[in-house]
Chain A
Amino acid sequence: MNSPKIPGSLAFRAVLVALAVGCAADAALAQRPRFRRPDGAGGRPQPQQAEPEAPAEEKKVESWTAIRGGDVYLGDGTLLRRATVLIGDDKIHAVGHEVEIPEDATILEAEGKVVAPGFCIVKASGFGAPRSGEDVRDGMNPFDPTIKMGLAAGITSFLWQNGSGNDKPGGNSSLVKLAYGDLEGMVGPSDSVKTMRVPLNPQQMKTFRDLVKQAREHQDAVREAAKDDKKPAPKPPRGTEDILKILDGETRLWISMGGGSRMFRGGGDGGGDDTTEIRQAMEIASLLGRGVVLDDPVCAWVIADEVAATGSMAIVNPRNRVPSREGFEDSTGSNIAQAAILHDVGVPVAVTAPGGRFGGSGVGTGGILGQDLNTPHVDAAFAVRGGMPNRQALRTLTLDAARIMGVEARVGSLEVGKDADVLILDGDPLHYKTFVDTALVNGKVAYVRAEEPYYRHIRR
């Protein structure tokens, strides 16, 4: 089976190889992440983004699947009309208009349909993943019917979180993929996210500062030791392990703005203003020299430039409503345009479902009638209502969501080398009437609407 040779793909691969070589050469100097774009204006940090890893060696593809003729959203904001997505085993092999389809490929006709990357949900629970556990595999149920329900809503992966950090990074996380019936296929990269919260009191801030300082000193020591072969690499100081991962770019740091109720942020009067907390989070970002992820801010739209300046990202709930303080309507409270404003200044945004009485913000399977489950694309649609361009808004569920979870090398777009998590939809991905016809996870068909009890009776 020859891989289909198309110029675009070849060139892309060449770039990848060059990148890989370049990075290998660099490795001794620094574990610098590979940015897609060079540093922007004024050398300000850009939100992190890793490329899919080029396979070490060309693996022989055993089974081919081609999704032919659909309008393909790549997930990064690009739309290719009447294009083909070629899947080799569990990875995207090629996407384009002139993709050569191997003879023995399974063909899924998508003419008149829309093809999009599976939705990546930053906050969710259920779908066969355990409620808690030391390991994401503990008690994992790959046959959980809610997996099918999630796929019906377009969800193909989400971040499983267990515990959270408080005044310093902590908590475990793992990407869970909705690979029905496949235990190993369900487990994605682990600990790509650590969490903490602001505000920190001065004492906590000092402790945090000290930890970062120790971590940086450790990095220097490691670099020193690397010069001398005989010296063993020093052990990281206690408590800095997670910070080191963040400094190295392996892990994203999510910072939540205080307590559960947004209403009361910014003081006891319910001022609807959390800019102070956001600024502290930005200070942490500067301290780390890395963008962080603002977890559900209310007023990031007020200081969007400051957020952008640190290379940070944000998880936003466009449906969230927090009243502003009287007389300060222009600088307090929630704003439906928050996602659009952040996007405009270059802050990647992921959307999440509103917090409800029956659970925190996020997609769950335990809400009333599973209502939370059906909302990811509706939440993104609310971002559009707030002024975000339609195609860019899809990024809030795909590529940018994956970046926020630190797993963009694996999922989030239909890019060659990424996991083949693909949806075939019967309409615009963000339209409320759209259904998922077929969902593939890891290159395997995991959901077919006509075969599952949930929506097969709906015809139009």
Chain B
Amino acid sequence: MMTNRLASPPALAAAALALGLCALPEASAQDPARPVALVHARILTMTEDGGTIEDGTVLIRGETIEAVGADVTVPPGARVIDLHGGTVMPGMVHAWSTAGVQAENGGGVQLPANIPDRFRRRFMSASSGNSRPVSTPSKKVAESLYARQDVYGDLLDAGVTTLVVRPEGSGLPGMAARLDPAGGDDSLVVGDEAYIVVTPQNTQAAAKALKDMLEKGKKALEERKKPKEEPKKPEEQKKPEGEEKKDGEGEKKPGEGETPEPKPEPKPDPDPNPKPEPKPEPKPEGDQGGDAAKQDPKPAEEQKKPEPKKDPNAEVMADLLDKQRRAFVNLSTGADFLHWQATMKDLKDVAFPAAIVADSTDLRSGRLDQVLEIIKGFDGPVLTDPDLETLPDTRTLISQPKRLHEAGVEVGFVLPDSQREIEQLWFQLMELVRCGLPAEVALAGITRVPAKALGLDKEVGSLAKGLRADLLVFTGDPLDPTSTLTHVFHGGRSVREETDPR
């Protein structure tokens, strides 16, 4: 770089000196004040409107991306990394991980000792899920995590810059946690309420447990929306009306919940309501700020009438039905979707923001493209295995991701939980692309789409001004097996640098 310009022999000494001097700033390259510029990069922005910049620059300042483009001016003093045509893409978003989760009672199987053997066997061998359903949606997996596990660093090194781990178990095992894979004892957990895990099982008992919990949430929500004693003045009534409409566009549900009361009535508690309203914005940072945001309505109510003790699980479900939280619903096979549909049939007016996670393919229980109608009933994307599958009783390979994509479903991928498997993931994606999935879709499936499923797409998952500087640098096309991951930036910090990748 600098040395190139110094041609004369006497200058070599100066060059050596310069290098030596450079060494100091280089050592403190992680100094957040010093911008980093990745130049001569082929940039896969992965933004919604797409776009690849063939020869561009990514400028990182502090934790965020300051600029992305073909003609970005590199500020003086910036650390410049010339990629010589290498590729830059956003860091991977792993939304459905169990990395470092300590399984309770051996893999989440929680069976009371007095269960007869034949039931025990049945639950153990059930095709989808192997544990007895639980109803503890308010349980936080974050509480059972600790930072000093190699797996977090390994995943980060492999390019996973956003990591969300979930509780294991079936039914409603609890809430997932967003982690900082580089975080320490106190900074591992970024947000402990990333989403509610819903892992339905195909039994009537499990369906009933799930329905009961949703009903409880519905009741709690109705309780919350009930007008408080003091009816308010007309001026106050106007405001909430507007808000109600906002609510209504998103979903019919709140409207129905309120039908018992004439419309103007539910205003009385404009205080608790408006706070949840601005949700759309808080969401991106909902994980960090989630706690505070969610607690808001509660204190307000508690002050008013402290007597009735609230079931935290019901409250969490109420938040979900109120669209203050999101759910990840684990449905892997066609049969799972049919059972889900049968479960939800009786709860017509219950709807909530949910992404689908299809993390275990079993074509003997139906393909996802056989239940497209049910899938399209969800508003979130589908995260699925990045695999080609063989149709039962044939040698025909099919690509479920491709079929879903072609049917207009937004497809993302479930990432594996070890560094080695993540390295193989690029192969899997390559195979999918070879079999007809557009490369853009394949790469969005590990970046933007899972970020969107998490409600974090304003923060991570693509490369644009203002987003977190989470990015990966490859020597060539990321899907090309001959290219190498040379750099990983995580929140603007370089956490992997291979200077001699070949």
Contacts and interface: CB of A to CB of B under 8 A. Distances in A.
Contact of B393 (A139, A142, A145, A181): A145
A142 B338 contact: yes
Given A143-B333, A143-B334, A183-B338, A454 B365 contact: no
Interface string B350-392: 0000000000000011110010000000000000000000001
Interface residues of B, number: 23
A50 B235 CA distance: 68
A200 to B, nearest CB: 26
Contacts of A182: 338
A138 B392 contact: no
A132 interface: yes
A144 B203 contact: no
Interface residues of A, number: 19
A140 B202 contact: yes
Interface string A237-279: 0000000000000000000000000000000000000000000
Interface string B255-266: 000000000000
A134 B118 CA distance: 11
A326 interface: no
B118 A142 contact: no
A140 B335 contact: yes
A141 B364 CA distance: 8
B394 interface: yes
Interface string B73-92: 00000000000000000000
A145 B334 CA distance: 12
Contacts of B364: 141, 143-145
Interface core residue of A140, A143, A145, A183 (most chain B CB under 10 Å):
A143
B122 A132 contact: yes
Nearest to A146: B364
Nearest to A144: B364
A109 interface: no
Given A134-B205, A184-B342, A142 B122 contact: no
B334 A134 contact: no
B126 interface: yes
A183 to B, nearest CB: 4
Contact of A139 (B203, B366, B367, B392): B203
B203 A135 contact: yes
Q: Name A's interface SS.
A: loop
B335 A143 contact: yes
A226 B339 CA distance: 41
A143 B370 contact: yes
A300 B179 CA distance: 72
B342 A181 contact: no
A359 interface: no
A183 B339 contact: yes
A182 B373 CA distance: 13
Contacts of B394: 453
Given A143-B364, A143-B365, A138 B338 contact: no
Contacts of B365: 141, 143-144
Interface string B197-211: 000001111000000
A385 interface: no
B334 A142 contact: yes
B202 A139 contact: yes
Interface in B382-410: 392-394
B335 A142 contact: yes
Given A132-B118, A143-B333, A453-B393, A138 B203 contact: yes
A132 B116 CA distance: 14
Contacts of A140: 202, 335, 339
B127 interface: yes
Contact of B366 (A137, A138, A142, A453): A142
Interface core residue of B205, B333, B339, B394 (most chain A CB under 10 Å):
B339
A367 interface: no
Interface in A145-196: 145, 181-184
A137 B205 CA distance: 10
Nearest to B395: A453
Contacts of A132: 118, 122
Contacts of A135: 203-204
Interface of A: 132-135, 137-145, 181-184, 453-454
Given A141-B127, A145-B364, 9 more contacts: A133-B122, A137-B202, A141-B364, A142-B366, A143-B366, A143-B367, A143-B370, A145-B393, A182-B338
Report the 8 A-B pairs with minimum CB-CB distance, sorted nearest first: A143-B366, A183-B338, A138-B203, A135-B204, A143-B334, A145-B392, A141-B335, A141-B365
